[in-house]
Amino acid sequence: MKKISFLFFIAGLFLFPGCKDYVDEYVAYTINEPVFMSAGEFRSAVDVKEPQSIEKQGKIVFYNSYLYISQPQKGIHVIDNRDPSNPRNVAFIDLLGNADMQVRDNMLYADSYVDLVWFDVNDPARPVYKGRKEEVFPYAYPPTENEFGIDYAKSMDRKNGIVVGWKKVERRELVRSYRPGWWGWGEKDGGVMYNEGAAIGNASVGVTGSMSRFAIYEDNLYTVMNNQLGIFDLSGETPAKIGQDIYIGFDVETIFSYKNCMFMGTPRGMIIYSMEDPLKPERQSMITHVFGCDPVVVENDIAYVTVRSGTFCGQDANELIIVDVSDVKRPKHVVTYNMKSPKGLGIDKGTLFVCDDGLRIFNAEDPRTIMHKDNILAHFKEMDGFDVIPFDNVLMMIAADGIYQYDYTNLQDIRELSRLPVGN
């Protein structure tokens, strides 16, 4: 047997002479490598400071006459909005990696990259840091500023600390070792991972914008990110993580609580989950649409969904989609309207507000006739609206250049109350 094996080896040398002259080939590519901060430094950075200028638009929450505004990756601005015609910036919560938040019973819950952090806001001008639950969002990363992929392998190595940024690097690898960039795409806008309050049972809960990834139902906080739905029990002194995250998929982006259901916006469509058992959400249905970024709000069993195009949103579709969700197991498409580039939206007692080419306001009592000239109530231009909260006849809108507020008590005479600057 040894003699036969040796003969085959000799024959192979003659049959494949090119093997001995093999030249390695290389491929060059660009990728985002993580920038780390030690876990100790990261978690000790939280602070409450004097008010700071709002440099960039983010998510918004309204609670007990105060607005909470996330400045992406930096922290949370606290705005005294008891007089909407004269809002006052009163405090800043320095919180690295913040994107989303929600308020319940005077406790503000916010993400800080991989952690959940909470503050006592009984005195909104003086928030008090109360605690942190670590590593509950393990795959939450900062957004990139380019279209290149992310080195997830390095990012997930917690020995180096917490990922707080990215550096663009050029690499050169053997062709046979190269892994193409499909394992991680750059995410410029979203990251990998923005009153009297609303009464839910005996709790008072903040009113969020349509872009929120945080929602509250009964005693629980629900979060969506990285295709997962997380649940936190808020009934005790500290939030308790409930079980493992539930896989939702479809790049779920937003979540909206209505009755005993959660309505989730994804680039592929709207997904409805029942909260009949709050700790075991059950999927009811999904209604699909063309690929695009997708927030959703619901009122009177009618869901309003905007779809917009863009670099990270998919196809060139810009639409307002209206869906009858009276039967959550069988949602029915009602009508679709063309838009320019819609983003966040809100609905209040049949009045629909859409961030599109500024701010558009419609009488939506009959969804099939929204675009009739008599139902187009107002169109405010010259700003790039991002998201809105309508509450008690005051519309709060965050835009690229400011926080705009409008009085819609008289729908025939909607007027601007104030503008608090954002950015330079």
Give per-residue pLDDT as tens, 298-312: 999 999 999 987 645
- Of 15-24, 70-79, 390-399, minimum mean pLDDT range: 15-24
> How many angstroms separate the CA atoms of 145 and 32, rounded?
10
> How many angstroms separate the CA atoms of 275 and 262, rounded?
7
Beta bridge partners of 239: none
> How many angstroms separate the CA atoms of 140 and 343, rounded?
23
Evaluate whether 303 touches 297 at the Cβ level (below 8 Å): yes
Give per-residue pLDDT as tens, 175-213: 655 555 434 433 444 433 333 345 444 459 999 999 999
Res 321 pLDDT > 60: yes
> How many angstroms separate the CA atoms of 83 and 226, rounded?
38
Give per-residue pLDDT as tens, 378-393: 999 989 999 999 999 9
> How many angstroms separate the CA atoms of 100 and 279, rounded?
21
pLDDT of res. 423: 87
Res 356 pLDDT > 80: yes
| Three-state DSSP class for residue 406 | strand
- Rg of the chain over Cα atoms, rounded to whole angstroms, equals 25
